[in-house]
Each structure stands twice: as C-alpha cells, then as structure tokens.
Amino acid sequence: MSATREIISTGNDLAAIAAVDAGCQFFAGYPITPSSEIMHTISDLLPAAGGTAIQMEDEIGSVAAAIGAGMSGVRTMTATSGPGISLKAENLGLAQMAEVPLVVVNVMRGGPSTGLPTRVSQGDVRQAKNPSHGDYRSITLCAGNLAECYTEVVRAFNLADRFMQPVFVLTDETIGHMHGKADIPTVEAVQAGIVPRKRFEGAPEEYRPYECGPTDAAVLNPMFEGYRYHFTGLHHDAKGFPTEEIETCRKLIQRLEDKVMAHRDEIELNEEFMMDDLTGEEGEVLIIAYGSVSLAAKEAIRHLRKDGIKAGLFRPITLWPSPAETIKKHTDKIKNVLCVELNIRQYTEEVERVSGRLDIEGLYKVNGRAISPYEIVNKVKEVF
C-alpha cells in the first residue's frame, strides 16, 4: 500500500488537514486575511476528530488559549498573518521561556501594519527569527509548495514537542490560496512518525521539569496528573519558581539557545534543484529562494538552461536556524549568487553574514505582486 495520497486542495486547507492528522487537539484563532481559511477548515475537522477549535476575541486571546492547551499536554496550534504575530509577540515570549510546545502558522501578506492584506509578501522573515524579545532560538519552517503546507505543519508539531517551544510555519498569500494537486503522506504514515512529548515517570516529589542537561529541553508533564510545578515568564529554577540567582539564570538562558543550536541536524531541511552539475566554473549561477518564490525560480532555471546558462536553486525549507554551513559551502564554490525575495534583503542579509560576501545580487519586490520566472531570467542576464 502506498504511503502517499493525492489531494486537490489549497495551501491553507492543507495546513488545517495536516494539524488534525498530526494529532492536534486544540486550535484557537481569529480571522485575518489571508490565513482565515485555516481556522474555517479546522473548525469543521477538529471537533469531528475529538478536538476543540475556538474563535477567540482577538489574536492575543488566541495564542494565550493555545499556550494553555499546550500546558495541559495536548498538541495545539494557532494560525494568523503578520499583524497577528505582532499581537501574539508577548505571549510567544512566554512560551519560549516556559518551554510550552505550540505550532504557529503565519500566512504572510504585505506589511508593515495593515499593509496589503490581500497580497503576497515574505516580509515576516526577520520577525520569525525574533518574534519576541530576549535570548532564545526560533525554529521557523517555510513551505515552498502545496504538499509542504501539509508536511511542514506535521514536522512542526514533532519539532515543537521535541524542543518544547513554539515552532513557526511560514506560508504566504500565494501558496495559501493556491489550488491544485498535492502528493502528501497518508494519515497512517503521519501518525506512525509522531514523536511523542517526553514525560517524567518518577515520584511526584522528585519532579524537576527544568532540571535537564545543557542542550536538553524541559520535560513538562501534563497538568492535572499529580506533578506540581510552576509556570512563569520570569527566570526560574528547576521547579519553575522565579529566581535571580546568577548562575541559575545564566544556565537557563544559555540552554534555551543551546537546546536548538546543538541539534541543528535534526531541524535543518533544504532542497537543491539542478545543482548536481554546478562545479564552480565561470558563468554558473546559484539562485537562493524560498517559499512560493522558489516555484518561479525553478521555472526560471529551466529557461536559463535552455539559453545556455547553467543555473541551480538552493532553497532553505528551515529558515531559522539558518542552514549556515550549507549556504557557505555553496557560496564559497559558486561566484554568481542571486537572492530572490518578496521583501527587501531580509534573507539576503543572512546569506551575506554566513558567506562573508558583499557581492550577493538581489531581486526584490514589495508591491504585493508575485515575482515571475521571466523577471528572474532577465535579472540573471542583466547582472551576470
């Protein structure tokens, strides 16, 4: 029996379906273009699967409710767009500090502020790296096609429970509203791959949820099961109670960093398209793109190769933490590098940082319209 299935759907609906298939039991959201269909769809599917979907009074209430559900031990999700992430920022910091797993889907639109609500953008890339104040490491995935609107949401739930923190899935208006065929895993395959949250099985009086190794995540048993501990956004000790003890505070914040950065091999995922024959010869072109823009980049590469220009695509699927070593490897080898984004240099700056190069070319658009393959072709021919 095949481990995949074909489905005709939109990116937003696929994100909702993925959550239910991955075992999500609680969703809280608030309507906001262009993500509203996720809430609409999951509000039908989740109760039928024994879960709860609720429309809250606003985005702040939505993330607060979702965090509360996560504290009770169930898989939980919220979905929104850029302005909603801005409103959720304080509570997202609470989830990072208290180490509460949560999946957040952001269907990006034009900004800042109200921006272009019905148009496409990738303007939330920097925001996804640091959605709240303080020291921690965000985990941010970015779907680049319809199938990944499903698979990356599934992966996000597993990563959230593995690392005990919010995990972000970026899509955008184009891919969220795109309607087409997707090959996705079967429900059985998804459920067989679920990574359960760790639990402490010892005596309740011995339970120390935040007493763990320097690169380990907290072990938070579900509430109401006899294990007592304290939730707070303050710096805290092994049982979660507030403290200002110097070394305890240092170790806590360093661990929030290291529990992610020491395990990047479990998080990083990339696609390399038509890169096998790129050897670093003069005239070769490396295009770096992600999300829906990568679809145009692939078509552009086909046209460029027909015109005798050997080009390939590197697409980060995990944006944060960035695939720094992989980017450096490719940019060290290939002279001509073009970053294509629906923002102004938000990921290009990361490519420059890890590559140490200041000659990275860029193609950017911020008027709410998609970048066409021909714009990419023309840019390559213009600058290289």
Centroid of chain to Cα 50? 26
Are the beta carbons of 103 and 20 closer than 8 angstroms?
no
Q: DSSP secondary structure string, 208-262?
A: -TT---TT-----PPTTSS------SS-B-TTS-B---HHHHHHHHHHHHHHHHT
pLDDT at residue number 44? 97
173-214 pLDDT tens trace = 999 999 999 999 999 999 999 988 999 999 999 999 999 999
245-294 pLDDT tens trace = 999 999 999 999 999 999 999 999 999 999 999 999 999 999 999 999 99
Which residues, at least 6 apart from 168, have a Cβ–Cβ distance to it below 8 Å?
Answer: 104, 105, 106, 128, 131, 138, 139, 140, 141, 156
Q: Is the pLDDT of residue 371 over 70?
A: yes
Which residues, at least 6 apart from 285, have a Cβ–Cβ distance to it below 8 Å?
Answer: 304, 309, 310, 311, 312, 334, 336, 337, 338, 380, 384
DSSP 204: G
Tell me if residue 116 falls in helix, strand or coil: strand
Tell me if residue 269 falls in helix, strand or coil: coil
- The segment(s) of the chain belonging to CATH 3.40.50.970 are 4-192
Which residues, at least 6 apart from 323, have a Cβ–Cβ distance to it below 8 Å?
Answer: 268, 270, 316
Query: How large is the average pLDDT for residues 307-332?
Result: 98
Which residues, at least 6 apart from 191, have a Cβ–Cβ distance to it below 8 Å?
Answer: 21, 22, 23
- The segment(s) of the chain belonging to CATH 3.40.50.920 are 271-383
Query: How large is the average pLDDT for residues 221-238?
Result: 94
271-383: which CATH architecture? 3-Layer(aba) Sandwich (3.40)
Query: How large is the average pLDDT for residues 111-137?
Result: 97
Residue with tokens 């269907």: 107
pLDDT at residue number 2? 73
29-64 pLDDT tens trace = 999 999 999 999 999 999 999 999 999 999 999 999
pLDDT at residue number 244? 98
Which residues, at least 6 apart from 105, have a Cβ–Cβ distance to it below 8 Å?
Answer: 15, 35, 38, 77, 78, 79, 80, 153, 168, 169, 171
State how far the Cα of 381 lies from the Cα of 384, in Å rounded to an integer.
6
* Per CATH, domain 4-192 is 3.30.2310.20: no
Are the beta carbons of 111 and 82 closer than 8 angstroms?
yes
Grade residue 1 by pLDDT with cuts at 50, 70 and 90.
low
Mean of per-residue pLDDT scores for the chain: 97
Angle, helices 11-21/36-48, rounded to nearest 10 degrees = 30
Distances (CA, A) of 151 to 14, 189, 234: 9, 11, 34
pLDDT at residue number 195? 85
